[in-house]
Amino acid sequence: MKGSSMDLEDKRIAILAEDNYQELELWYPLLRMREAGAEVTVVGMPGVEEYHSKHGYPVQVDAAADTVAADDFDAVIIPGGYAPDRMRRHPPMLDLVKGVFERGGVVAAICHAAWVPISAGIMKGKRATCVSAIKDDVINAGATYVDAEVVQDGKLITSRVPSDLPAFCRTIITALK
């Protein structure tokens, strides 16, 4: 039924995690996607069972990035904070993001998380937004920067800051239906 709480019951979503993630940008999409019926997997690096947010809030890792494949997921969501600066240094995380994107899945990044699709090489020629602090990085990656609460270019979805989360999550859910 349209608008039901189980709109995504057949969808599998990865949410990337690393230390210093922004609490709302990880937990709001994680809980919202589960509420919509999706199977959500928190993906981290090998040997790490738990990451902590900028303020110390923990999140448990469900799977290591080197043990999952792009084919396992319909979407990958990347939260911001300082975590993306760490995520973009992990080839398995970049491979997952690039692989999901190349197979036609949704890649959604908010705030500083635009660094991850930049490092995965999927931003060139796209329209995107991000926190203003990394606007130049988005432009230098070959994307067109748009200052809007959410920007969707095909299966790439980007937002700026925590107050954009409602529009960000609505857009992800619509793209996955």
Nearest to 116, CA basis, from 25, 34, 41: 25
Whether 76 and 13 have beta carbons less than 8 Å apart is answered as yes
Active-site residue flag, 90: no
Structure tokens that stand for 74 in this block: 């319909």
Q: Which residue has the tokens 């999706």?
A: 38
Tokens of 92: 């398995």
CB of 106 within 8 A of CB of 176? yes
Distance between CA 26 and CA 98 in Å, rounded?
A: 20
Amino acid in the structure at residue 43: V
Helix (H) or strand (E) holding 86: helix 83-87
* Long-range contacts at 31-34 (CB < 8 A, ≥ 24 apart): 32/169, 32/173, 33/8, 33/77, 33/169, 33/172, 33/173
Active-site pick, 52, 55, 90, 112: 112
Q: Which residues are catalytic?
A: 112
